[in-house]
Amino acid sequence: MSQNSWRNIASKLAGKNFDEHLRAYRENAGALRGIAWEPTAEERGETNAARFLEKKGLADFNALYEWSVADRAGFWEAAAAELGIRFRERCEETLDLSEGIEKAQWFKGSVLNIAESCFKADPDALAIRYRDFGGQLKELSYAKLEALANRVANSLVHAGFGPGDAIAVNMPMTVEAVAIYLGIVKMGGVVVSIADSFAPDEIRTRLRIAGALAIFTQDVAPRAGKELPLYQKVVDAEACRAVVIRVGKSSPRLRDGDNDWDSFLCEDEVFDAVACAPESPINILFSSGTTGDPKAIAWNHITPLKCATDGYFHHDIRVGDVVAWPTNLGWMMGPWLIFAALINKATIALCYEAPLGKEFGEFVERAGVTMLGLVPSLVKQWRSTACMEGLDWKSIRCFSSTGECSNSEDYLYLMYLADYRPVIEYCGGTEIGGGFITGSLCLPAVPGAFSTPALGSAFVILDEHDSPTDNGELFLIPPSVGLSTSLLNRDHHEVYYSGTPRGPKGELLRRHGDQFERFGNFYRGHGRVDDTMNLGGIKVSSAEIERVLNKTPGVKETAAIAVAPSGGGPSELVVFTVLNEKVPADALRTDFQKRIKSELNPLFKIHDLKIVDLLPRTASNKVMRRVLRKQYP
Residue 415 to residue 569: CA distance in whole angstroms? 16
Q: What is the 3-state secondary structure (H, E, C) of 395-417?
A: CCCEEEECCCCCCHHHHHHHHHH
Residue 362 to residue 20: CA distance in whole angstroms? 25
Residue 396 to residue 363: CA distance in whole angstroms? 13
Phi and psi (nearest 5°) for 353?
Answer: -85, 160
* Diameter of the chain measured on Cα atoms: 71
Contact 186, 153 (CB under 8 A): yes
Predicted confidence at residue 72, as pLDDT, reads 98
Burial of 12 from C-beta contacts in 10 A (0-12 / 13-18 / 19+): exposed
* pLDDT-wise least confident of 7-21, 148-162, 439-453, 555-569: 555-569
Please give the average per-residue pLDDT across 392-416, as a whole number: 95
Contact 628, 608 (CB under 8 A): no
Predicted confidence at residue 498, as pLDDT, reads 96
Q: Which residues contact 46 (CB under 8 A, 6 or more apart)?
A: none
Confidence band, pLDDT 50/70/90 cuts, at residue 175: very high
pLDDT at 179 over 90: yes
Confidence band, pLDDT 50/70/90 cuts, at residue 3: low
* pLDDT-wise least confident of 174-183, 307-316, 513-522: 513-522
Number of CB atoms found within 10 A of residue 185's CB: 31
How many separate helices (H) and strands (E) can be counted in the chain? 20, 30
What length is written for the chain?
Answer: 633
Q: By C-alpha distance, which of 146, 191, 184, 143 is closest to 274? A: 184
Confidence band, pLDDT 50/70/90 cuts, at residue 290: low
Contact 428, 302 (CB under 8 A): no
pLDDT at 624 over 90: no
* pLDDT-wise least confident of 100-114, 450-464, 556-570: 556-570
Q: By C-alpha distance, which of 427, 367, 426, 365 is closest to 128? A: 367
How confident is the model over 529-567, as pLDDT tens digits?
777 777 877 778 787 899 899 989 999 999 999 888 877
How confident is the model over 5-33, as pLDDT tens digits?
999 999 999 999 999 999 999 999 889 99
pLDDT at 307 over 90: yes
How confident is the model over 515-524, as pLDDT tens digits?
899 999 999 9
Across the chain, mean pLDDT equals 94
Q: Which residues contact 17 (CB under 8 A, 6 or more apart)?
A: none
pLDDT at 468 over 50: yes
Confidence band, pLDDT 50/70/90 cuts, at residue 618: low
pLDDT at 600 over 90: no
Confidence band, pLDDT 50/70/90 cuts, at residue 621: low
Residue 596 to residue 551: CA distance in whole angstroms? 11
Q: Which helix (H) or strand (E) holds 559?
A: strand 555-563
The identity of residue 207, as a single letter, is L
Alpha carbon 131 to its chain's center: 22
How confident is the model over 326-360, as pLDDT tens digits?
999 999 999 999 999 999 999 999 999 999 999 99
Determine the 3-state secondary structure of 295 from DSSP.
strand
Number of CB atoms found within 10 A of residue 347's CB: 28
Question: What are the C-alpha distances in Å from 241 to residues 172, 452, 456?
Answer: 19, 45, 41
Rounded to 10°, the helix 333-342/175-186 angle is: 80
Q: By C-alpha distance, which of 370, 426, 367 is closest to 400? A: 426
Q: Which residues contact 268 (CB under 8 A, 6 or more apart)?
A: 150, 151, 154
Confidence band, pLDDT 50/70/90 cuts, at residue 1: very low
Residue 233 to residue 221: CA distance in whole angstroms? 11
Please give the average per-residue pLDDT across 276-290, as a whole number: 89
Contact 556, 578 (CB under 8 A): yes
pLDDT at 620 over 60: no
How confident is the model over 205-261, as pLDDT tens digits?
999 999 999 999 999 999 878 899 999 999 999 999 999 999 998 888 999 999 999
Please give the average per-residue pLDDT across 410-421, as a whole number: 97
Residue 347 to residue 349: CA distance in whole angstroms? 6
354: left (phi over 0), alpha (psi -120 to 50) or beta: beta
